[in-house]
Amino acid sequence: MPEPFLLRYLQPLLAGRRWECFDLVNEALRHGQSAEELVCDVIWPAMSQVERLYRDDRIDTATEHLACRINRTAADQVQPHLPRRPATGRRVLVACAPTESEELGGQLMADLLQADGWEVYFIGGGVPDDEVLQLVGKLRPHLMLIYGAVPETVPATRAVIERIREIGVCSEMNIIVTGGIFGRADGLWREVGADAHCETPRDVIATARNLPPRVANAPRLGVVKKRRRRRKTTAVPA
């Protein structure tokens, strides 16, 4: 989608003009714009731009809240128009950090994965670790997707991934992280123990389709396993 449309959407979004944003989305749909493009090329980058502006103190909390809620309603408008691909028989559990913007990112990914044929369970943020573990054990998902984290929640994200791996509750389940601080802190996804990191929603969909079942102790996507150095030996004289 041409960038000017995104700019046209951002202006009323940051001004809190709800109906102007909704009219733009409806107009795009009427003129044949695909729902997937609206999610990936308008709502998602607009969400990311709002996050950046708020993080840099260029907009206040009220503006950020207005924009997040408008974006979420726009996402609800678009979701029924996403084309549904045949069911894959694969399940995904989508979680996120417990903030409004992270919930929106998780919702967008849940919508796109569902349209791609996945059976989606979206739990959002703020769910206790033990309940996440119980749900993983109950659903046996093929994939867990975690959207974003704020700095304060990184230790909790790492802890829940470690517990999932230690207990072996669903050993073949891959974990992908995207959005939020994972896009800003290079290598953080490795530190928390995820199997892959994706920058864009399209990357998530493509990676999710192609990841083979996880093998315990196998190298993670994008991680080069270091060769072990041979220990030097000193000949002992006879």
Rounded Cα gap, residues 186 and 200, in angstroms = 15
The string of pLDDT tens digits covering residues 40-70 is: 999 999 999 999 999 999 999 999 999 999 9
Whether residue 179 contacts residue 102, with contact meaning beta carbons closer than 8 Å, is answered with yes
Whether residue 25 contacts residue 10, with contact meaning beta carbons closer than 8 Å, is answered with no
What mean pLDDT comes out for the span 121-133? 93
Q: What is the pLDDT of residue 229?
A: 40
User: What is the CA 185 to chain-centroid distance, rounded?
Assistant: 15
Rounded percentage of the chain residues whose pLDDT exceeds 90: 73
β-strands 196-198, 143-147: how paired?
Answer: unpaired
The string of pLDDT tens digits covering residues 183-200 is: 888 899 999 999 999 999
What domains lie within the chain, and their CATH numbers?
3-81 (1.10.1240.10), 91-210 (3.40.50.280)
Rounded Cα gap, residues 76 and 121, in angstroms = 17
Rounded Cα gap, residues 215 and 219, in angstroms = 9
Q: What is the pLDDT of residue 41?
A: 96
User: What is the CA 191 to chain-centroid distance, rounded?
Assistant: 17
What DSSP assignment string belongs to 2-34? -HHHHHHHHHHHHHT-HHHHHHHHHHHHHTT--
Whether residue 4 contacts residue 41, with contact meaning beta carbons closer than 8 Å, is answered with no
Angle between helices 100-115 and 201-210 (to 10 degrees): 50
